[in-house]
Structure 1
Amino acid sequence: MDTSTARLDDAWEWWTASVEEAREGRWVRDAVERQVMADIMAATNALHGGRPAPSTEDAWHVRIGRIGRIANWAGGLRLAARAGGWALRPVVGRSPGDPVGMAEPLSGVYAIGEQGERGMTRLLRESRVPPEKEIARAEAFLTGPGSVEDLEPFFYDD
């Protein structure tokens, strides 16, 4: 079942598999892959204003605005995947590819951005706000220590 919890858990699995493959030397990013990751980070603004995510001390209406910023990740990742010729794949209930390559971290992070797009659609069409816990978990996945925001330190191939 594609719930926000399953999506986040499986996204972490795909992200972690990518990092492990890189650290073990089984996947060494090439110059294009390194530049794509740098471009993704440049195109997706930090969500937290410099504070560790989730920024629960912010007013709830401010945090709701972050749904749109989370959704921006989806568009950035679709562009990156098209530019590099990588196919984004569903992550929920599936294992990462073997061998792991650029499609796996992109697909894992895309799953969270796509969830943000769905949340933004519900908010705009139905005035339904995603649960605060769901937004907080997405924020924590994308920003802060040990998150996607720290892309470069996870890879030793620079």
Structure 2
Amino acid sequence: MNSFGARLDDAWEWWAAAIEEAQEGRWVRDAVERHVVADIMAATNALHGGRLAPFTQDSWHVRLGRIANWAGVLRLAARAGGWELQPVVGRSPKDPAGMVELLSGIYAIGEQGEIWMTQLLREGRMPPEKEIAQAEGFLTGPGSMEDLELFFYDS
């Protein structure tokens, strides 16, 4: 499996572990966690006008920037809450999963956006369209990170 495919699969695994804990009532977010999730959602508004991913009408720079923005937002969110982001590729999330696992899973995709943006700016190398579309689908649209708050029942 290519490195992005592994990253995407593992990101979903970490995200799903945290969401399952929340939906089963084993992880109930505290006030700080609820505020951080709300801030993440406000800061990562994709401004896509209701279009569904992939955003092929947008330039490469806009598409990669939209993905990469998540990385910076999640680093700030982790610092604000005192959490340490963990590498997810090739690793299983801790049990019980919670905010660290949730943020780390999402961060893996934002970090990939930063890698792609660097490659585009330094080398003129564009990632495969399929991978960009998969990252966009992970972050935006129905059932994605864009709907993150809907996955919690503790609000």
Deviation digits for residues 49-79 of structure 1, max 9, x if unmatched?
Answer: 31121234x25xx244210121110000000
Map of 1:142 onto structure 2: 139
* 8 Å Cα contact 1:40-1:80 kept in structure 2: yes
Q: Does 1:43 align with 2:40?
A: no
Q: Quick one: distance in 2 between partners of 1:115 and 1:125? A: 15
Distance 1:102 1:52 in 2: 27
Which one-letter code corresponds to 2:66 in the other structure?
R
Displacement of 1:5 in angstroms is: 0.6
Between the aligned partners of 1:137 and 1:48, the Cα distance in structure 2 is 16
Task: Name the SS for the 1:51 alignment partner.
Answer: coil
**Alignment-derived partner of residue 95 in structure 1:** 92
Q: After the TM superposition, which parts of structure 1 deviate over 4 Å for at least 4 consecutive aligned residues?
A: none
Give the fraction of aligned pairs with identical amino acids, expressed as a percent: 76
Q: What is the match of residue 148 of structure 2?
A: 151
AA aligned to 2:10 is D
Residues 53, 139 of structure 1: 8 Å contact kept: yes
Normalization by structure 2: what TM-score? 0.95
| Number of residue equivalences | 155
5+ residue gaps, structure 1 = none
| Root mean square deviation of aligned Cα | 1.4
Q: For residues 23 and 106 of structure 2, what CA distance do their matches in structure 1 show?
A: 19
Match of 1:4, SS state, is helix
Report if aligned partners of 1:7, 1:92 keep a CA contact under 8 Å in 2.
Answer: yes
| Structure 2 residues not aligned, in runs of 5+ | none
Question: d(CA) in 2 for partners of 1:64 and 1:125?
Answer: 13
